[in-house]
Amino acid sequence: MLFDPTQPWEPWTPQAGWNGKISWTFGGSSTSDHYQRNPPDVLNAERLGAGFMVAASSLNTHGQNNNDVVSSETVMMLKERIIEQYGEIRYVIGDGCSGGSILQHMLANAYPGLIDGIQPSCSYADSRTTGLESVDCSLFLRYFRNTSPHLWPIETQRGAATGHPSESTCIAWVDVFAFDQTANPSNGCGGSASEPWVYHADTNPEGERCTSVDYAIAVWGRRDPDLWGPIEQQLGRGFGRNPYSNEGVQYGLHALISGEILPEQFVDLNEKIGGRDIDYNWIPQRTSGDRTASAIAYGTGRVNDASRLDRVPIIDLRGHDNEEIHTDVNSYIMRQRLLEANGHADNHVIFISQAPLVVLPSVAAEAFGLMDQWLANIEADTSNDPREVKVVRNKPAGAVDSCYIGTEKVTDQSKCRLLFPYFGTTRIAAGGPMVNDVMKCELKPLNRLDYLPVTFTDEQWRRLQTAFPTGVCDFNRPPVNDRPSAEWVTFMDGLGVGRPLGPPPVATAIAPLPDLTVTSVTVSPTKLTGGDPLTFTAVISNIAAGAASNVAVRFLVDGTPLGADQVIGDLAGGASRTLTAQWAGTAQNGPHTVEVRVDPANRIAELNEANNTRTKTFAIQGGKIQ
């Protein structure tokens, strides 16, 4: 933010250069990084010039920390620091591409209130369901290239089987970005796989596993003993629970029914594509997935069900692209989740432009201005209506689904759909729902009638039954262990044990504190005759607003108390009391010190504990007080 170093800045009197708003940058990519990295750049001239604070943390970069729970806590703690140092925050606008979009969607839904409005670009709904496709693609490419390339010479058929126009999306997932490797325990944890501390099944089984679930072991917990393999049995502990499953998934089902691929291609693909084991080795059978991990994925919000995203304005910025991993369908997956969770998606706006990956700068600037206006409108809405009602009611007129042809804004959605089509994913192409949220499906027996008008030979049908010994996905039933997600989940009770924190604490007024002090100390008389004692007079004051009760005062001469402490009783804010004490000092010639202490036992909480004592020095010489 803009800061004048020549002027003071207190949180209750912030400088005029900050408007109380924050633009929060969430970084992209995805890595279970075990290294300290730099945060994203915060020197955004446009945002700073508009009075915004720009905030970022390395732990809010998905390519450095793909544990969204830690990322959420990072936002919470950094916001607390900002409030303590700089003042009250009006609202926070999130932005970021790819992995940065995942963090925005996840934080806003799982920990509502951390971010007030989000602008995901090149977006995905969450890590877990997005990760299904990256692992699926590793299996597809292995099959296309090494197992049955003779059956798949036509690229459009390979693409149709994966849910895309071509296999280029899978190539990008695996060969370009290698994001399937987040499931590989020996991927190097953001560094080199040759590091001596990195897990390797043969040479270092006790090493650090680099998968995203092992990285977030507090969230997922360890596999139960009945699932342990030989290495886990040797170690006496399970590896991180992995929710990935492709058991029963009929890859290429839509392409089969539509006639884009042949029955023999469909059968061969599904009997030979295989799966991955816990160490990411290819296995000929399908991966059944961890049922407990599925329960954690849904119940703790690691699969984003969008059930609380209606509380935030969302402007999704999509650079049109159906050839690499950031495919257009992902914006519409989130749209469908909002519809199913909340009955509407009126808070969800999609801006799509021709430039791949990210929108044109002019489109991004327009979206940011609309988001700022949207949140300011909500801020000004003082009604008692729920947040989600205010979000829809205060939506700016320009915040509507739009596509951009060059710089021309088009709101005719039939034209936009024609110009900017979207396709599917590996799981949608396998018959899965548009919400794309099935980690592990319930199963049903194979039935020839389900494939009509496609028919199989008896030999092909036998092979399909062998390929799916436990049945195929029944997408008419909810996923395995599907359940509503909880909000504000903590994992402090143990590995893989999440529970909601419950209602937020309610602020209560704190009574003002007193501030006790000794205003003055005097000694009298100035001359002693006979056996006269000296009299010490002290004025005790409460210089703050809060009242004090049972105020004790102690007089001391040369460190020795003059009898018991005197108790004033109550002393209201701004009030003073005068106390006296006597000392027979006629025979004690020489220098002396009288000390008066208020609240000597320090039993009363005060604004300032350092001003409770006052001293005065005097001397007695021949009956005179000097």
pLDDT digits (tens, 9 = 90+) for 43-98: 999 999 999 999 999 999 999 999 999 999 999 999 999 999 999 999 999 999 99
Question: Do 435 and 290 reside in the same domain of the chain?
Answer: yes
pLDDT at 585: 62
Which CATH number belongs to the domain containing residue 383 in this structure? 3.40.50.1820
pLDDT at 530: 67
- d(Cα 356, Cα 174) in Å, to the nearest integer? 19
* Contact assessment for residue 443 and residue 470, using Cβ atoms and an 8 Å cutoff: yes
Out of 194-208, 346-360, 374-388, 585-599, pick the least confident: 585-599
* Contact assessment for residue 208 and residue 190, using Cβ atoms and an 8 Å cutoff: no
Question: Do 276 and 144 reside in the same domain of the chain?
Answer: yes
- d(Cα 605, Cα 620) in Å, to the nearest integer? 38
pLDDT at 159: 98
Question: Do 336 and 406 reside in the same domain of the chain?
Answer: yes
Asked whether residue 271 is domain-assigned, the answer is yes
Which CATH number belongs to the domain containing residue 557 in this structure? 2.60.40.10
User: Which run of H or of E encompasses 402?
Assistant: strand 402-405
Burial call 514-553: b when 16+ CB within 10 Å, e when fewer: bbbbbeebebeeeebeeeeebebebbbbbbbebbbeebbb
Boundary of a domain, candidates 459, 474, 500: 500
Average pLDDT over residues 206-231: 96
Distances (CA, A) of 69 to 65, 149, 292, 317, 583: 10, 42, 19, 24, 67
Question: Do 463 and 474 reside in the same domain of the chain?
Answer: yes
pLDDT at 589: 82
Burial (CB < 10 A; 0-12, 13-18, 19+), residue 93, is: buried
Q: What is the pLDDT of residues 187-205, one digit of tens each?
A: 888 888 788 999 999 999 9
Question: Do 37 and 139 reside in the same domain of the chain?
Answer: no
3-state SS string for 143-208 = HHHHHCHHHCCCHHHHHHHHCCCCCHHHHHHHHHCCHHHHHCCCCCCCCCCCCCCECECCCECCCE
Asked whether residue 416 is domain-assigned, the answer is no
Boundary of a domain, candidates 410, 445, 469: 410
**Per-residue pLDDT for 469 more than 90?**
yes
Boundary of a domain, candidates 445, 472, 500: 500
Distances (CA, A) of 520 to 166, 576, 581: 89, 11, 14
| pTM confidence score | 0.82
Average pLDDT over residues 252-273: 98
Question: Do 132 and 247 reside in the same domain of the chain?
Answer: yes
How many domains does one find in the chain? 3
**Residue appearing with tokens 């884009």:** 260
**Per-residue pLDDT for 587 more than 60?**
no
Question: Do 445 and 561 reside in the same domain of the chain?
Answer: no
Asked whether residue 278 is domain-assigned, the answer is yes
- Nearest CA-CA partner of 135 in 27, 278, 254, 294: 278
Phi then psi for 417, rounded to 5 degrees? -65, -35
Asked whether residue 438 is domain-assigned, the answer is yes
Question: Do 209 and 293 reside in the same domain of the chain?
Answer: yes
Asked whether residue 508 is domain-assigned, the answer is no
Question: Do 258 and 156 reside in the same domain of the chain?
Answer: yes
Asked whether residue 247 is domain-assigned, the answer is yes
Question: Do 394 and 529 reside in the same domain of the chain?
Answer: no
* Contact assessment for residue 97 and residue 358, using Cβ atoms and an 8 Å cutoff: yes
Beta strands at 117-121 and 314-319: parallel, antiparallel or unpaired: parallel
What percentage of the chain has pLDDT greater than the value 70? 99
Handedness of CA 359, 365, 368, 370 (dihedral sign): negative
Asked whether residue 510 is domain-assigned, the answer is no
Question: Do 314 and 359 reside in the same domain of the chain?
Answer: yes
- d(Cα 66, Cα 31) in Å, to the nearest integer? 6
Question: Do 284 and 341 reside in the same domain of the chain?
Answer: no
Asked whether residue 234 is domain-assigned, the answer is yes
- The average confidence (pLDDT) of the chain is 95
Average pLDDT over residues 104-119: 98
Q: Which domain holds residue 91?
A: 21-126+304-410
